[in-house]
Amino acid sequence: MTVPEAYGLGPIKVTAIGGGRVDMVAALTGSGYSVSGCSGGGSVSSGGGGGVALSCGEGPAATINDAMSLKVVDILDAAAVLRIKPAGSRTARSLRPGRLFVNAEA
């Protein structure tokens, strides 16, 4: 799924859904990376770039790069509903929130 450039991530790919968690990977498009509320890690090169892996369960929304809110709304077998929207009020007026339904690839 493609997210706005302001979030500092390239397209997010769901790699697995199970055990109450949604696992995802994404390329980094900025020069930094931060996550709060999900398990995650990644690397960033001095010129930007690199990648990140996230593992999120149902519950409170995670904040990515202080710009994006990602919430796992529901997990049903091999499918999940994710809600992605701007974090904080500074970007809320310029970006529209979205709700996504994703299936993990077999």
What's the pLDDT tens digit per position in 4-57?
Answer: 888 888 899 999 998 899 999 888 887 677 788 787 655 554 455 678 888 999
Global confidence as pTM: 0.74
Q: What angle do CA 58, 60, 62 make, to 5 degrees?
A: 95
Residue 60 has pLDDT above 60, yes or no: yes
Ranges 15-19, 76-80, 90-94, 99-103: which has the least confidence = 90-94
Distance CA 101, CA 82 (A): 6
- Cα–Cα distance for residue pair 95/106, rounded to 1 Å: 32
With tokens 């890690």, the residue in question is 41
Please state, as a whole number, how many other Cβ atoms lie within 10 Å of the Cβ of residue 57: 15
